[in-house]
Amino acid sequence: MSISIRHVTKRFAQFTALDDVSVDIPTGSLTALLGPSGSGKSTLLRVIAGLDTADAGTVSIEGNDATHLPPQRREVGFVFQHYAPFKHMTVYDNIAFGLTVRKAGKAETKSKVNELLELVHLEKFQTRYPDQLSGGQRQRMALARALAVEPRVLLLDEPFGALDAQVRKELRTWLRRLHDDMNVTTVIVTHDQEEAMEVADEIVVLYDGRVQQVGHPNDVYEHPANDWVMSFLGPVTHFGSLLVRPHDLDLAHEISDGALPATVVRVTRLGFQTVVDLDVQGAPIYAQLAREATDRLTLEPGALVYVSHARGEVLPAAPAIPVPAADSLL
């Protein structure tokens, strides 16, 4: 195990950020700490790095107890959400910083930094200052800087959060490929479930300071440990106490066991998928179906259909009619 966290608790005044958290991060894996804001994921990352100290519990890195070590001695690389560039230094000096701290020789530093500049495609920018770079370039620089000292563990705190969607997608793919090449244990904090599913070998889902589930992305999606995890990882509709994904709903003209009557409100065809907006006894829901499935039915606004669970489970009750918020226009 690369990182072992045991019974870590961390409080900030009245607020408990981490509540008896225990997690193992396998060596060489890319693990995502996934959760909404306030779930404790960033705090956990900072505790691993030594940037925050836990009130209780232990942190081990590659078998050594690191709980009381300062960040300088943990050999972790950390990449911040807002990059934390050394504004007064050039890109080259930023990346070289960790090596100059270790008093590496000039030639050795130069070759290592050049290697990293090539890796992150910033060779032409080495004499520039961070404020002359775009967000994505700054993040790549931050990554190179963290990798320069060959850390045992690489920690990324919402590294792509401050970038726009296109750049985010590109860097996500690039990070995955980088990890496959370098094989350094990586932990990435994110609130974006799509990002976690796409990039990670393993997801640790956190909520309210506690670990909700640990597993492979597919596992967590298909077999969520509880309702909360299920609704966090993807869209759900509540049928009474049963949570169902829109693509797990079937539509038919004939009634069947456990089905509910519904009126079609709108049909939207999106390529190979069709989204059907339905009204189930006053509650608006939507179902996601394959094109062929909807082609077999006549779906006009106002038509009556029966909604059932694709895997045969009984829909216990109609969804609750949503109460409009006090300031809503609807």
Partner 1 sequence: MRGNRRPVARYGLRFVALGYLLVLLAAPVAMVFYRAFQHGLGPIWSALTTSEARSAIEVTLIVAISAVVLNTLFGVGTALLLVRRRFPGRHLLDVLVDLPQAVSPIVVGLALILVYGKFGFFGSWIERNGIKIIFSLPGMVLATAFVSLPLVVRSVAPVLAEIGDEQEQAARTLGASSWQTFRRITLPSIRDALAYGVVLSLARSLGEYGAVTVVSGHVIGKTLTLTLFIDERLENFDQPAAYSAAVLLAIIAMGSLLISRRFRTRSRSVA
Partner 2 sequence: MPSWWAARSGKNSRGGTSLGLGLVTLYLSFLVLIPLGAVVWKSQSNGWSAFWHQVTTPEAWDALKLTLTISVGVALFNLVMGTIIAWVLVRDDFPGKGAVELFIDLPFALPTIVAGVVLLSLYGPRSPAHVDIAFTRTAITVALLFVTLPFVVRTVQPVLIELDRDMEAAAASLGASPFLIARRIILPNLVPAMLTGTGLAFARAIGEFGSVSLLSGNLPFRTEVSAVNIYNQIQSDNPVGAAAQSTILLVIAFIVLFALDRLKRWGVHRG
Residue 115 structure tokens: 């290697």
Residue 78: name the closest of 30, 12, 149 by CA: 149
Cβ 47 to partner 1, closest distance in Å?
A: 11
Contact call for residue 76 and partner 2 (CB under 8 A): yes
**Distances in Å between the alpha carbon of 123 and those of 75, 141, 144, 197, 227?**
26, 11, 12, 31, 48
Residue 136: name the closest of 156, 150, 120 by CA: 120
By beta-carbon proximity to partner 2, the closer residue of 30 and 45 is 45
Contact call for residue 88 and partner 2 (CB under 8 A): yes
By beta-carbon proximity to partner 1, the closer residue of 71 and 258 is 71
Contact call for residue 86 and partner 2 (CB under 8 A): yes
Stretch that binds partner 2, among 29-37, 80-88, 243-251, 289-297 (CB under 8 A): 80-88
Map the footprint of partner 1 across residues 67-96, applying CB under 8 A.
70-71
By beta-carbon proximity to partner 2, the closer residue of 161 and 261 is 161
Write the DSSP string, 97-134. Answer: HHHHHTT--HHHHHHHHHHHHHHTT-GGGTTS-GGGS-
**Distances in Å between the alpha carbon of 132 and those of 19, 24, 87, 274?**
42, 40, 10, 45
- As a residue count, the chain comes to 330
Cβ 107 to partner 2, closest distance in Å?
A: 20
Contact call for residue 52 and partner 1 (CB under 8 A): yes
Angle at 125 between CA 121 and CA 131, to 5 degrees: 115
Contact call for residue 102 and partner 2 (CB under 8 A): yes
Give me the half-sphere count of Cα atoms (radius 13 Å) on the Cβ side of residue 244.
27
Contact call for residue 158 and partner 1 (CB under 8 A): no
Contact call for residue 85 and partner 2 (CB under 8 A): yes
Q: Phi first, then psi: what are they for 300, rounded to 5°? A: -110, 150
How far apart CA 319 and CA 321 sit, in angstroms, is 6
Cβ 70 to partner 1, closest distance in Å?
A: 7
**Could you give the angle at which helices 106-119 and 135-147 cross, rounded to 10 degrees?**
140
By beta-carbon proximity to partner 1, the closer residue of 71 and 261 is 71
Among 8, 59, 67, 78, binds partner 2 (CB under 8 A): 78
Stretch that binds partner 2, among 8-16, 95-103, 234-242, 278-286 (CB under 8 A): 95-103
By beta-carbon proximity to partner 1, the closer residue of 69 and 225 is 69
Cβ 148 to partner 1, closest distance in Å?
A: 21
By beta-carbon proximity to partner 1, the closer residue of 47 and 163 is 47
Beta bridge partners of 263: 279, 304
CA 136 to centroid of chain Cα atoms: 18
How far apart CA 176 and CA 160 sit, in angstroms, is 13
Stretch that binds partner 1, among 48-56, 78-86, 90-98, 238-246 (CB under 8 A): 48-56
Contact call for residue 51 and partner 1 (CB under 8 A): yes
How far apart CA 274 and CA 198 sit, in angstroms, is 23
Contact call for residue 71 and partner 2 (CB under 8 A): yes
- Residue numbers at the binding site for partner 2 (CB under 8 A): 49-51, 70-74, 76-78, 80, 82, 84-88, 97-98, 101-102, 129-131, 142, 145-146, 148-149
- Residue numbers at the binding site for partner 1 (CB under 8 A): 51-53, 70-71
